[in-house]
Structure 1
Amino acid sequence: MEDGDNKNILITGGGTGGHLYPAIAIIEYLQEKYPDTDISFIGSEKGMGSKLIPAMGIDFYKVRARGLIASGSVLKKISGYVSFVFAIVPGFLKVLKILRNKKIKTVLGMGGYICAPVFLAAMARKTDFSIHEQNYIPGRLNKFFSPKAKYIFTSFEETKKFLRAKKGAIVFSGNPVRRAVREMMRLEPSYERWGLKRNRFTIIAFGGSLGAEKINRTITGLYRKFAGDSGVQILLISGSRHYGDISRKV
């Protein structure tokens, strides 16, 4: 960001940690390097963003949106598209007002269905918007809007093969990491805290902020397979909603 650039930035993203925590990392960077930047955030009515983002001194706007159901019977698909349109229109109109009142010139979408009304409003106002894709394979929404994005920042270099974009728009940036995580990475690993042995080959698995049932099942199977192997140990971050079930199985 150059000194002459407009410093009114809008960031948006879904309510789960996979979208939210990279957004928080970017906000931390902007607040540290460009303290005069006016940052706004648009999030869903549900999710942890409504608490975490305002705590950083950021204006948080709640906008209603919903995902697009694109599978199932023809009738279910049609119903999904109709519901999507009806849900997105009020959000689109609200975002238009936010973009105008806050004089936003730059929009960054971190993923999730909440980005749809924001990107559409940005296009309607001819406001530049960029996308950050955390996953190896982009989601449907990011794929759909990528041809119109100024930049698409990817966490994996190979992700570009799944995207249609303007020449030079795809930037391999990696996934932003929060300050607290970077500080933890500098600490001496706490093997004892988790009941781990320093000299064993260690497998760590997790399925995002909410956990993932399929990953949990797979790792539970690996645990049983390596139960008698003293050279291997497994640390599974199951997610709170799966913790009780996994604890009973192991």
Structure 2
Amino acid sequence: MTKARHYVLAAGGTGGHMVPAAALAGELQKRGHRVALVSDARGVRFPGLLDGLQTHVLPAGRFAGGPIGYARAVARLWEARGMAIELYKTFKPSAVIGFGGYPAMPALLAAFHGKIPTAVHEQNAVLGRVNRLVAGKVDAIATSYAQVERLKDAHRGKTHLVGNPVREAVLALRSQPYPLLEEDGIFRVLVTGGSQGASVLSKVVPDGLSMLPIAFRSRLQVTHQARIEDIDEVRAKYAEHGIPAELATYLPDMPEQLAWAHLVIARAGASTLAELTVAGRPAILVPLPSATDDHQTVNAREMTNAGGARTIPQGQFTPVELAKQMQKLGLDPLALQNAAGRARSCGRPNAVRDLADLVESLDAPAAGVPVGLAKPVKMAGAAA
């Protein structure tokens, strides 16, 4: 049995950082370890993720706003580093794992100061800014994609492909078949912009669905996550077009929504793609163009190239284009089921297990093997 240890997980306050951190926390706790999570004020209040998990808030901020803004950010960073050092004196972590986002930085700097083993997990297909800054000093880099941009060749020797952990309820969908779709049966569409919604989906999707042939349009049943400022207008549009639709600003039952969905229209955030590929659900993806380093466009490539998704750049995402792609995907049930299988082929269902194995190896290296490489995960392919 593995010796019980203490681990600190440090993550920014968005869903993309918090979901995999929470998944790893749950796996490590199952293995008998004690886990503390460090984040900002947003992260520790994330709905439904952190029940029973020790949490700590560190001050953090973006490096922006000119010289004064940078000076304030550095001051907050140094203050947070000191707080993390004090935490480690009592919690005594065996390793510190960063998941990106500015709140992860002080926790990692404190670990470097205390010579505590470290690793980072990158959810996106482009190495994020904080992970790039610390990549040279951490003991291991865990990735979600076989190809990761902005990752230096010098760091590939300590890089491990593990995938992006998803919630257990989503993982359970992998053992379930793609929902039966008959030629004249209900066609269920899930529209989601991620944890913060997406106004462009609300503006385009109802009108795009209304342009489908009547025989197709009459079969639609839509669940649409919309921002609170958009929801009334979106509801009115669906009603005007006669399309049955359920609207919500937040979908706490996302695994259930994925379970019955035949097609998903979504952004290309890391957690969204991890869930789509593990569950095996075809999608129309509209990457967020303002995402740092345009990482959502890069995220979408693997699933799109495999044939499990169609990507529409936001500048080309019009009702006409959506209707065209919907017909290409949805009019042939066999083709849609094939796309679901291709999406599934990109999934990495063992991500949380492989990441936990890597974390456990950090402070228990095999004889003669550098720290962080005791249990390497092969950087190739997708799990079956």
User: Contact 2:102 / 2:130 at 8 angstroms: preserved in 1?
Assistant: yes
Structure 2 vs 1, CA of residues 86 and 245 (structure 1 numbering), >3 Å: closer, same or farther?
Answer: farther
What is the identity, as a one-letter code, of the residue corresponding to 1:66? G
Q: Does structure 1 residue 133 correspond to structure 2 residue 122?
A: yes
Residue correspondence of structure 1 range 12-27 to structure 2 within 5 A: 12-27=10-25
Show CA shifts across 1:23-49 (max 9, x none): 1211222222x12x1211112123454
2:36 to 30, 34, 40: 40
What is the identity, as a one-letter code, of the residue corresponding to 1:183? A
Name the residue aligned to 2:83. Answer: 94
Name the residue aligned to 2:60. Answer: 65
User: Contact 1:154 / 1:175 at 8 angstroms: preserved in 2?
Assistant: yes
What is the identity, as a one-letter code, of the residue corresponding to 2:166? V
1:247 to 216, 220, 235: 235
What is the identity, as a one-letter code, of the residue corresponding to 1:42? V
Structure 2 vs 1, CA of residues 212 and 85 (structure 1 numbering), >3 Å: closer, same or farther?
Answer: same
Structure 1 CA distance, aligned partners of 2:135 and 2:13?
21
User: Contact 2:118 / 2:140 at 8 angstroms: preserved in 1?
Assistant: yes
Pairwise CA distance, 1:93: 0.8
Structure 2 vs 1, CA of residues 167 and 54 (structure 1 numbering), >3 Å: closer, same or farther?
Answer: closer
What is the identity, as a one-letter code, of the residue corresponding to 2:19? Y
Structure 1 CA distance, aligned partners of 2:158 and 2:221?
40
User: Contact 1:28 / 1:178 at 8 angstroms: preserved in 2?
Assistant: no
Residue correspondence of structure 1 range 75-154 to structure 2 within 5 A: 76-154=65-143
Name the residue aligned to 2:198. Answer: 212
Pairwise CA distance, 1:80: 2.7
Structure 1 CA distance, aligned partners of 2:147 and 2:88?
33
Structure 2 CA distance, aligned partners of 1:234 and 1:137?
35
TM-score, with length taken from structure 1: 0.77
Pairwise CA distance, 1:94: 0.5
Q: Does structure 1 residue 238 correspond to structure 2 residue 188?
A: no
Name the residue aligned to 1:9. Answer: 7
Q: Which runs of 5+ in 1 are unaligned?
A: 70-75
SS of residue paired to 1:60: strand
Name the residue aligned to 1:72. Answer: none
Structure 2 CA distance, aligned partners of 1:235 and 1:80?
44
Q: Which runs of 5+ in 2 are unaligned?
A: 239-384
Structure 2 vs 1, CA of residues 169 and 243 (structure 1 numbering), >3 Å: closer, same or farther?
Answer: farther
Structure 2 vs 1, CA of residues 244 and 227 (structure 1 numbering), >3 Å: closer, same or farther?
Answer: farther
Structure 2 vs 1, CA of residues 110 and 88 (structure 1 numbering), >3 Å: closer, same or farther?
Answer: same
SS of residue paired to 1:42: strand
Structure 2 vs 1, CA of residues 53 and 90 (structure 1 numbering), >3 Å: closer, same or farther?
Answer: farther
SS of residue paired to 1:208: coil
Show CA shifts across 1:23-82 (max 9, x none): 1211222222x12x12111121234546646523x221111111222xxxxxx4323311
Structure 1 CA distance, aligned partners of 2:90 and 2:157?
31
Structure 1 CA distance, aligned partners of 2:156 and 2:179?
46
Structure 2 CA distance, aligned partners of 1:235 and 1:153?
36
User: Contact 1:13 / 1:112 at 8 angstroms: preserved in 2?
Assistant: yes
Pairwise CA distance, 1:11: 0.5
